[in-house]
Amino acid sequence: MDLPDDDHLTHEGLDLAAAPKGRVLLIACGALAREILDLTARNGWDHMDLTCLPAILHNHPDRIPAAVEQAVRKHRPTHPHIFVVYADCGTGGQLRATCDRLDVQMVDGPHCYSFFEGNARFATTAQEEFTAFYLTDFLVRQFDAFVWEPLGLDRHPQLRDTYFGHYTKLVYQAQTDDPALTARAADCAARLGLAFERRFTGYGDLETALAKA
């Protein structure tokens, strides 16, 4: 199965007009599209359909619950079984409350960094890494679009110390073994003036969550 380019993760991946009975619709963050498509192909989860919301919503987490609710209501007539592939993602519990009200399940954890690492492990390591800045495969690919430019560092590089002065290292949570991505992640760390650490996580609890779905 071909994976979409990261610049095209805001569209729906399949024709959902007439889904057969018993299928599961995954309503996911666009930043997870590659990983989800890989997991469904690798595990033979042919009963799962995927639609993605724009990954840039992560820059406005207050908008995520409403966007998810709109997607659930739109697709529920064709897919009674829906699973939301988001963690809390900065919504302060509002996404969980929305999913509970709509009677749909979602991924456990505070954010994708946690479930990629494994929520139990991340809960322990985060207490010792509160000065770490995390990147996933997606964010390494989209570093300029999702970090550098939204923070204005392309126009005002002097703001780097304002934003990152209290960070000590950049942790690249690698979902795949890709030397090119590792090199790009190391470059991101250098641009931010941070020490670099690569940590292979694979898909962590994301795979477990989808298996249950």
% of residues, the chain, pLDDT over 70:
90
The Cα 29–Cα 10 span in angstroms is 9
Q: CA angle, corner 117, sides to 102 and 111, nearest 5?
A: 35
pLDDT, tens digit (0-9, with 9 covering 90-100), for 116-131: 999 999 999 888 899 9
Backbone angles phi and psi of 16, in degrees to 5: -105, 15
| Rounded distance between C-alpha atoms, residue 156 and residue 109, angstroms | 34
Q: What is the mean pLDDT of the chain?
A: 91
Angle between helix 33-43 and 205-212 (nearest 10): 60
Which residue in this structure is represented by tokens 């959902």? 16
- What is the average per-residue pLDDT within 21-36? 94
- The two beta strands, 81-85 and 105-106, are parallel
Position 145, amino acid: A
Within the chain, where are the H helices? 33-43, 64-75, 94-102, 112-117, 119-125, 137-141, 143, 160-164, 179-192, 205-212
CB 213 within 8 A of CB 47: no
The yes-or-no verdict on residue 56 having pLDDT over 60 is yes
Tokens of 99: 């999913």
pLDDT digits (tens, 9 = 90+) for 66-94: 999 999 999 999 999 999 999 999 999 99
Spatial distance between the Cα atoms of 130 and 17, rounded to a whole number of angstroms: 45
As a whole number of Å, the end-to-end CA separation of the chain is: 21
Contacts of 207 (CB under 8 A, 6+ apart): 39, 43
Inter-residue contact 114 to 122 (CB < 8 Å) = yes
